[in-house]
Structure 1
């Protein structure tokens, strides 16, 4: 048995050397530094196959003996030790890559432990500097399919692979640009290799990373507190604002601390908030809660950001970025804080942090916890619940932050949309973790189900298309095709011309298919009105309807001649005016716009219409009086006979009447209409409703940062109750 193990060990060294030579020759022929995975495996596969046959023969010799298991373990340890020693003794990265390919080939042939390539790569990562680890990790990405074949996340390869990635990521710096890039590549490899519901990648408890904390400069004790009710511009210049802002990062990094009850211990941000007179009054000597300090700090910062304008970034052509050794990070020095407040990127960073914390808080409200009562993962819910007043403040401040983020620059609206979409996705992930993070993968169909569905799909596709319900395209064409065309018999019909003559027309029976007749002319409408010249109600109604139809038939070019009509039904006068205009003559009727003179006793409405003519100019002030003051004047029609100047307009020359034809607004009738418009009970329908507009503007939110209902964005959380009305005071 010892001889068999020694022979296998000697064959292993010989095969290892032949595989290394094959890889070296292939790279030299192709002129490349590193081979692809398929080419490298094809080079080392023959030697690995030969070694597998020798190991199989050796295992058959001691099969059935009591020491068979011990011999198999000894052979596996011999291969393990040789591979690890050879990989760690590599002169450079390329030689180590070749030896790792050889280890992958041995693992594919079933030699040694299945975790052999991953464990050798993990040991190599531990002994390699970070700069070379970046190149070595590229090899791991290119061989990920072979290294993670048959990987189980909770045992074997899965544990080795996860530990290797975590150890490498722990060595990286958080501020170095290249390190941050490598950390992202590690996370991408983990996410594409391990399943989505793997417990190592799901934060079921909702824990926060509180390792990074900003170093603050202490506030000078000699700084005087700010006066109560100071302007936001004074807040921006006070030294306590610096400490208040960076103290809020304690709550931003750990939102769960906001729901913890007050213990009486000094809270981060309480001292600077006290200097700025922003803390609320606590009754009965109760201790301040972290939520109260957070609310005071956030509202103070929002007031400052709303008052301090941001410095717009210069619009210049972006230069080629130079290679840097550090990833940019925000500094927490006091002397740069005033400049950071004016930086649009710095302001957006703070506003996005506020939205993230607000979504977490709204997820702990009563409505959200009620919807989450059926969740299997109770660890994600906090012990304390968000109160109703705290929820109202969070929703109100949410909209203020949205407005500030939208107005943070020319691309503010696009940035706000992106942030809200990310928050919606995060809310969906929280719900997924709340139900236990179930697997998103679905098992394939079994053979029987797949065969049944395959048969149904084939039968559905092979079924002929149903015949159309109407073969000819429409019901009328089908009826015409089946029954044929039945031409109606010719007939005759009596029609009346525009001159009133009755004629008999012969038709072919297809007159229903013809288009509608033309528009009637004013001449025909005038003749029909003259046939109804009676004074009875039926004739008046008929004449009124015909006059309305006649006015609608007037050509748009003759609309200005409608002012020459003595009455609404004076179509004859309109025709005379049209004829006079066609002949180049002026048509001015002497009685245009006046009431008939044959009536001896005018009606009350007519007396009221004439009364402004008889009054002196200084007496024309009916608008300042109440509507009831006009009623005694309309009830005295005899005043025309008693006053000597009442008939003065009738004794005047006809020249003023001719001028009245060109100015219809000065006629008594127009004056009467103007007096009726001024009554308080009648409002002109064409005027805009200024009161309604002002009421709609006053219905917006009372906050100076809130917008109207049309511009306000909806509440973007999935975990919260329906958003409150933005116009409500809460």
Structure 2
């Protein structure tokens, strides 16, 4: 970029080169670390700021000066060499200038984007070492001016990377994006619910085995090839029509070799499918995985159910065969044909190789034998089954209030299909928990899918903001004061809340309060007669009550006194309880003891009179003698009276 003769650019170039010279003194090694700060330049950054103010914040002059220095360094040094450290120093200086609003905030990422375009994949890894080490610093301020450039640069880099060979690097790029952008940012949200329909899986059309045995060395012209093609098409149609009858006649037990899904015989579904038959069925599932809305058609849904069921049955058969032979393959066995020393199961499961599976028929048997391949396919099936279960009536009822109608579908899954999806999901879950680290693998997958449901619900609501504003200084200080006050040692009150006032113990007047507590009336059981008056008062209150509430209070008070009266009277007057009728006629309990004894005597006399006839009996001789002796002992005065 030419800037000859422009005084502002020349002065900015001299100032920035002076900062680079000071940075070279601070970091003579030229590495990525440590990051440069404002204090390392001893006021040099402020001088650049003063020049910028003098030129009315001429961002273009500083940008031109930085680009000229940047391009010169790229042309003269390689990223693997130590002199390339001046580029990292320049980027640190630009970051400081942008934070101080001396240059354009997005200038740093403009240069990083160009730097990524000029480097190989290995060089881009070094650039990301710099970005990872400075992430918090370079995204702390003016992020709105930088976010689109960050997103564009990372997406361009991801297009260059191979998902199979550079899996770890792709993960670093995604992690950098996730950590840079806010959690509720819409840049990574597919609001319109679009699917990757361009991802088409191409697989072979298998020919019958008889045609596969044709000689390879025979040369034919175009006419003969066309004739053979027509003959093959006619032969195929005839063979397809006669195949079921022929198989049934020759070998009846093999008529169930291909999996049938008519639901009439459960044993039929348990028969594993032949590899040649399973091959096109298996790879046709990828179309449903990439475009789930195809399953809204009943025919496509039935085909998907058949294909997934036969695939799972075959996976179970392969798993049993490998376990029986003791050759169950670990997730990454035989990858890329490279022999490496293994450090155990942990290294196998944590390998970074992410294969791009091929659809060749010759590789199909080997791919089915790979545990990682089977798990990969079944996880895709779990994702699609969860999508189907989100279309049930019960699940759609939870999303009725949402606003993003583009991800809400009018299609409703029937109850039968919902039962099939639920049972198939449980079967896949049981299968994934088998094998090396199976339970850990399924727990990880289930956790991710469970959290993804929350994100789907958030997207259906139109992605409302989930970011909370920071707590203000005033609220923080008030909360701090309240916490200190709550945790401070408190002085007890003279009369704490809810405590009993015990002043009556000492302020008893002439008598001490403790003596009052010793009064026998406090612990002596009252007599039944003591409740006679209170019960009568309650009866009077019940008769004079004007409202239902007053009458209810009087009724409850009378019932309480009546219960205590009966409890006390049960110890001495239990024989009188027969005269009490449902709490009435209590006068029998309150009679004095003399009247009770008199009444008792009268009752006994009455009983005796009623039991024996009225006739006089003459005393015998002994009784008559005792009467005479008693009369002789009576004093004369008494007799005279």
Inter-CA distance 420–89: structure 2 relative to 1 (3 Å threshold): same
Query: Once the 2 structures are TM-superposed, how far is the Cα of residue 421 of structure 1 from its aligned partner?
Result: 2.3
Which whole-Å deviations, capped at 9, do the CAs of 1:285-343 have from their partners, x for residues lacking one?
xxx62111101111222232334425243799834989x99743333221222233333
CA distance in 1, matches of 2:315, 2:342: 28
Which whole-Å deviations, capped at 9, do the CAs of 1:45-98 have from their partners, x for residues lacking one?
633221222232344xxxxxxxxxxxx5xx322221221232123223323222
- Equivalent residue for 1:236? 273
Pairing partner for 2:35 from 37, 56, 60: 37
Pairing partner for 2:408 from 381, 386, 390: 381
- Equivalent residue for 1:298? 308
Inter-CA distance 377–58: structure 2 relative to 1 (3 Å threshold): closer
- Higher mean alpha-carbon deviation, 217-226 vs 460-469, is at 460-469
Pairing partner for 1:107 from 98, 104, 108: 98
8 Å contact kept, 1:310–1:343: no
8 Å contact kept, 2:167–2:352: no
Pairing partner for 2:357 from 319, 330, 339: 330
Q: Which runs of 5+ in 2 are unaligned?
A: 209-235, 248-254, 258-267, 334-340, 500-513, 516-641
Matched, 1:371 2:398: yes
Query: Once the 2 structures are TM-superposed, how far is the Cα of residue 446 of structure 1 from its aligned partner?
Result: 4.0
Query: Once the 2 structures are TM-superposed, how far is the Cα of residue 358 of structure 1 from its aligned partner?
Result: 0.8
- Equivalent residue for 2:205? 218
CA distance in 1, matches of 2:66, 2:316: 65
8 Å contact kept, 1:48–1:109: no
Pairing partner for 2:449 from 417, 420, 423: 423
- Equivalent residue for 1:175? 164
CA distance in 1, matches of 2:301, 2:371: 27
CA distance in 2, matches of 1:193, 1:387: 43
8 Å contact kept, 1:175–1:327: yes
8 Å contact kept, 1:377–1:436: yes
- Structure showing the higher helix proportion among its residues: 2
Pairing partner for 2:439 from 397, 401, 413: 413
8 Å contact kept, 1:310–1:342: no
Pairing partner for 1:341 from 358, 368, 371: 368
Q: TM-score, normalised by structure 1?
A: 0.52
State the superposition RMSD in angstroms: 3.5
Query: Once the 2 structures are TM-superposed, how far is the Cα of residue 258 of structure 1 from its aligned partner?
Result: 1.3
8 Å contact kept, 1:376–1:436: yes
Matched, 1:117 2:114: no
8 Å contact kept, 2:272–2:314: yes
Which whole-Å deviations, capped at 9, do the CAs of 1:653-675 have from their partners, x for residues lacking one?
xxxxxxxxxxxxxxxxxxxxxxx
Matched, 1:311 2:311: no
- Equivalent residue for 1:502? none
8 Å contact kept, 1:235–1:304: yes
- Equivalent residue for 1:198? 185
Matched, 1:98 2:51: no
Matched, 1:209 2:196: yes
- Equivalent residue for 2:19? 19
Inter-CA distance 10–130: structure 2 relative to 1 (3 Å threshold): same
Structure (1 or 2) with the larger CA radius of gyration = 2
CA distance in 2, matches of 1:396, 1:340: 26
Pairing partner for 1:80 from 54, 59, 63: 63
Q: Which runs of 5+ in 1 are unaligned?
A: 60-71, 262-287, 471-481, 484-730
8 Å contact kept, 1:87–1:124: no
Inter-CA distance 419–101: structure 2 relative to 1 (3 Å threshold): closer
Query: Once the 2 structures are TM-superposed, how far is the Cα of residue 362 of structure 1 from its aligned partner?
Result: 0.3
* Secondary structure at 2:273 match in 1: helix
Inter-CA distance 26–310: structure 2 relative to 1 (3 Å threshold): farther
Which whole-Å deviations, capped at 9, do the CAs of 1:426-460 have from their partners, x for residues lacking one?
11222222222233332234455444433432332
Query: Once the 2 structures are TM-superposed, how far is the Cα of residue 374 of structure 1 from its aligned partner?
Result: 0.7
Matched, 1:149 2:132: no
- Higher mean alpha-carbon deviation, 78-87 vs 397-406, is at 397-406
- Write the mapping of 1:632-671 to structure 2, written as runs, cut at 5 A: none
8 Å contact kept, 2:391–2:413: yes
Q: TM-score, normalised by structure 2?
A: 0.59
Query: Once the 2 structures are TM-superposed, how far is the Cα of residue 461 of structure 1 from its aligned partner?
Result: 1.6
CA distance in 1, matches of 2:473, 2:89: 42
8 Å contact kept, 1:233–1:307: no
